[in-house]
Structure 1
Amino acid sequence: MKIILLSVGKINDAAYCNLINAYAKKIVHYIPFEMEIVPDIKNTKNLSEKDQRIFEGNQIRKTLQPNDYIVLLDEKGKQFSSPEFARFIEKKGLMGLKRLVFVVGGPYGFSEEVYGRANEKVSLSKMTFTHEMVRLVFIEQLYRAMTILNNEPYHHE
């Protein structure tokens, strides 16, 4: 199984990029992993929030493959402890999935079409985070899940 983190918009802050890339390099020692970016929309001042969600949703859907298992990182999703998230990843691996795709939406969330395409929703917290923070928290938790599943000492209970 390959895990993909699909996000809308690039990160301009070098500190976030460095941290995210450091975790990504660690994750690939355990499981195939890559990050994909859907470009930001330019000149959004004339677009409504709904129109932005639709445009971003179309871009997201273009990158997906027909058999992808889609998990939206969404505030209305299921919350896990770190060990529970590790078991969630483990179960997806046992399902024989080729690609497990976690999606970070744009500033206004996901279009109805993306919600309709999703298999599940996961929430990282009841709090709201910037998109940069979501990527960093998610990728750290994915690394933590890999160490939990491999009985390594990174996570302490």
Structure 2
Amino acid sequence: MISVNLICVGKIKEKYIKNGIDEFLKRMSLYAKVKIIELKEDGNDSNRKQSLEKESMEIIKTAEKNKGYNVLLDIGGKNLSSEEMSKEIERLTVTGTSTINFIIGGSYGVSEEVRKISQMRLSFSKMTFPHQLMRLILMEQIYRWFSIFNNSKYHK
């Protein structure tokens, strides 16, 4: 069974978002082992560059520890349909990838080093979403991608 890690900066504070994520975690248990790894948000407004670098170093360490195919959520990344991303996941599993790491940076973004360790940069939109909400959207899409890949009915 494939492993999926969400490497995220910051914690989820809103209960309704936590509930949505938990629902998709439960549904995903049919297809993959999913783990959410929350990294400490530095959030130093007086020195954003330092915060970005500190958070990025933690992302890199965590991605290296959880060896896998790294997908960075990035506004400048590829914009794929759900079907196209499902095919990409199928391609990865067929070629022997056992772990996929989805990376959501902090509010200041990520360093160039994080982009370099990422095999794919994926954009959901040119719009900016709150990081907490993006995690829920990502979980829903991961479930959708695996449902498509497994020819399962998507339950709304």
Specify if TM > 0.5: yes
Structure 1 distance, partners of 2:77, 2:126, is 10
Residue in structure 2 matched with residue 32 of structure 1 by the alignment: 33
Residue in structure 1 matched with residue 64 of structure 2 by the alignment: 65
User: Which residues of 2 match residues 45-84 of structure 1 at below 5 A?
Assistant: 45-47=45-47, 49-65=48-64, 67-84=67-84
How many residue pairs match? The answer is 154
Structure 2 distance, partners of 1:131, 1:105, is 8
Q: In the alignment, does 2:152 pair up with 1:152?
A: yes
How far did 1:33 drift?
A: 1.4
Cα pair 2:7 2:63 within 8 Å, conserved = no
How far did 1:105 drift?
A: 0.3
User: Which residues of 2 match residues 1-157 of structure 1 at below 5 A?
Assistant: 1-41=2-42, 44-47=44-47, 49-65=48-64, 67-154=67-154
What's the TM-score, normalizing by structure 1? 0.91
Structure 2: 5+ residue runs without aligned partners?
A: none
Seq. identity, %: 35
Structure 2 distance, partners of 1:61, 1:26, is 28
How far did 1:98 drift?
A: 2.7
Structure 1 distance, partners of 2:45, 2:20, is 31
What's the TM-score, normalizing by structure 2? 0.91
Segment of structure 1 superposing worse, 60-69 or 109-118: 60-69
How far did 1:137 drift?
A: 0.9
**CA RMSD across the alignment:** 1.7
SS for the counterpart of 1:65 is helix
Segment of structure 1 superposing worse, 8-17 or 59-68: 59-68
Structure 2 distance, partners of 1:143, 1:98, is 17
Structure 1: 5+ residue runs without aligned partners?
A: none
How far did 1:153 drift?
A: 2.3
Runs of 4 or more, structure 1, over 6 Å off, are none
Structure 2 distance, partners of 1:147, 1:69, is 20
How far did 1:65 drift?
A: 2.5
How far did 1:108 drift?
A: 1.4
SS for the counterpart of 2:58 is helix
Structure 2 distance, partners of 1:83, 1:91, is 12
